């Protein structure tokens, strides 16, 4: 009875802590709250959406936590009754685990305010990481599409003029006439080979590279959107509930780690990376695309691509010089961000007891 009374006191204390932490998380977005001052976008968007989603699942979470405490108290009392120190210590450990799950349940709103609102505010200012990263990716997509479209239009014009030939069919004995007509064809279209070598081939290669970059940008864009919408309802909330159930605790910890890493850390890293690297690249690519469109109008499409120093050839060379920074921004940095996100997920999962590192791989424990 004494142990049961202690368990009830512990439950009451946790209930009190629950209300205190809830009040604290709400006060962060109240008038004058830290999150409301440093990250007003968070309080007007993410905080409300998260609260609405969690309100639907809160009863289930409370039931799961209550069952976890009851089961832990039962194990503790059995160990005490049979004077089995191992079972008793296991019950105490389960009480701690249930308490930790309770703190995670309540702490989420405050954690969201701190990690997703306050901490990014010190790095990028009062800027929405999702708006920042998605806007820069969208701008890069638009600039890439503009460059591909500009080169494609000029390639079509030059290829059309370069394909004009004079062809007349004669008998097998008219070889001399054929040679004369071949010379006339060269006179009709004297710049075809130069345009092909200096502009069309390099422009086609760059267009193929930019198409690959465009696919990577769309993949990053929709990956961020995907986790923005499904991280909380599909990973975080089931993870919290699973963590309260002893056989499913490892899965729950892993799901919580996935939600925190891909919902908090990944968009923040993307926003920082694109904020500091993409602005200049977008301007350069857009400027070159506008110049290619201007120099590829009408008859200038041929005359401006006929020599190594022609305007269109110079434009292609300038665009080619930006490809290093372009692919560094859309391939290397995102790959580094994903690696850091994965590592953060592994560390968080290991910290909360969901996943541990074994022989260099992630395994459930």
Which of 124, 148, 178 is the last residue before a domain boundary? 124
CB burial of 43-77 (b: ≥16 within 10 Å; e: otherwise) equals beebbeebeeebeebeeebeebbeebbebbbebbb
Distance of CA 158 to the CA centre of its chain: 39
Question: Are residues 106 and 137 located together in one domain of the fold?
Answer: no
Last residue of a domain, one of 95, 124, 153: 124
pLDDT score recorded for residue 1: 46
Backbone φ and ψ of 288, nearest 5°: -65, -40
pLDDT of residue 74: 87
Identify the pLDDT of residue 162: 66
Q: What is the distance between the terminal CA atoms of the chain, rounded to a whole angstrom?
A: 34
Q: Would you say 107 and 98 are in contact if contact means Cβ atoms under 8 Å apart?
A: no
Q: Say what the pLDDT of residue 356 is.
A: 41
Going by C-alpha positions, the residue among 250, 280, 232 that lies closest to residue 111 is: 232
Same domain membership, residue 60 and residue 153: no
The helix/strand/coil state of 154 is helix
What string of pLDDT tens digits covers the 365 residues of the chain? Answer: 455 455 555 555 555 555 554 544 455 676 666 777 777 777 777 777 777 777 777 777 778 888 888 888 888 888 888 888 888 888 888 888 888 777 777 676 776 677 667 776 776 667 777 888 888 889 899 999 999 999 998 888 777 776 665 555 555 555 555 555 555 555 455 667 778 888 888 889 999 999 999 999 999 999 998 988 888 888 888 888 888 777 777 888 888 889 888 888 888 888 878 777 766 788 888 888 899 888 887 767 777 777 888 888 898 999 888 888 888 888 898 999 999 999 999 888 887 764 444 434 443 33
Assess whether 241 and 185 both reside in one domain.
Answer: yes
What local confidence, expressed as pLDDT, does residue 124 receive?
63
> Do 252 and 267 share a domain, yes or no?
yes
Say yes or no: 241 and 217 in one domain: yes
| CA 337 – CA 266 distance, rounded (Å) | 7
Are residue 154 and residue 248 in the same domain, yes or no? yes
Q: How far apart are CA 83 and CA 45, in angstroms?
A: 53
Distance CA 359, CA 356 (A): 10
Give the residue numbers spanning the domain of 236: 129-364
3 state DSSP class of 33: coil
What is the tally of structural domains in the chain?
A: 2
147 and 289 belong to one structural domain: yes
Name the nearest CA neighbour of 315 among 194, 154, 160.
154
Tell me, what's the pLDDT at 352? 73
93 plus 187 within the same structural domain: no
Q: Please tell me whether residues 99 and 241 are part of one structural domain.
A: no
């Amino acid at each position: 009875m004494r142990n049961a009374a202690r368990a009830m006191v512990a439950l009451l204390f946790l209930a009190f802590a629950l209300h205190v932490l809830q009040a604290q998380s709400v006060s962060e977005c109240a008038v004058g709250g830290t999150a409301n001052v440093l990250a007003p976008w968070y309080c007007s968007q993410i905080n409300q959406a998260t609260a609405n989603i969690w309100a639907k699942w809160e009863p289930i979470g409370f039931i799961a936590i209550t069952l976890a405490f009851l089961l832990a108290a039962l194990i503790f009392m059995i160990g005490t009754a049979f004077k089995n120190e191992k079972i008793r210590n296991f019950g105490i450990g389960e009480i701690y685990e249930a308490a930790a799950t309770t703190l995670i349940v309540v702490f989420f709103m405050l954690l969201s305010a701190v990690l997703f609102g306050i901490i990014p505010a010190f790095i990028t200012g009062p800027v929405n990481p999702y708006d920042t990263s998605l806007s820069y990716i969208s701008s890069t997509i638009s600039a890439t599409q503009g460059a591909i479209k500009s080169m494609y239009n000029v390639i079509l014009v030059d290829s059309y003029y370069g394909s004009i030939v004079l062809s007349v069919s004669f008998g097998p004995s008219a070889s001399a006439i054929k040679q004369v007509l071949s010379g006339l064809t060269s006179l009709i279209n004297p710049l075809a080979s130069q345009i092909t070598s200096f502009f069309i081939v390099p422009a086609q290669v760059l267009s193929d590279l930019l198409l690959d970059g465009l696919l990577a940008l769309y993949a990053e864009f929709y990956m961020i959107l995907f986790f923005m919408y499904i991280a909380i309802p599909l990973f975080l909330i089931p993870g919290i509930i699973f963590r309260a159930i002893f056989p499913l605790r490892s899965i729950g910890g892993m799901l919580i780690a996935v939600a925190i890493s891909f919902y908090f850390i990944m968009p923040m890293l993307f926003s920082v990376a694109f904020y500091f690297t993409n602005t200049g690249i977008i301007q350069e690519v857009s400027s070159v695309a506008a110049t290619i469109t201007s120099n590829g109008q009408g008859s200038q499409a041929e005359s401006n691509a006929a020599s190594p120093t022609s305007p269109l050839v110079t434009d292609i060379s300038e665009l080619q010089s930006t490809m290093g920074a372009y692919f560094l921004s859309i391939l290397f940095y995102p790959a580094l961000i994903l690696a850091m996100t994965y590592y953060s997920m592994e560390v968080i999962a290991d910290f909360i007891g969901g996943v541990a590192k074994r022989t260099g791989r992630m395994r459930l424990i």
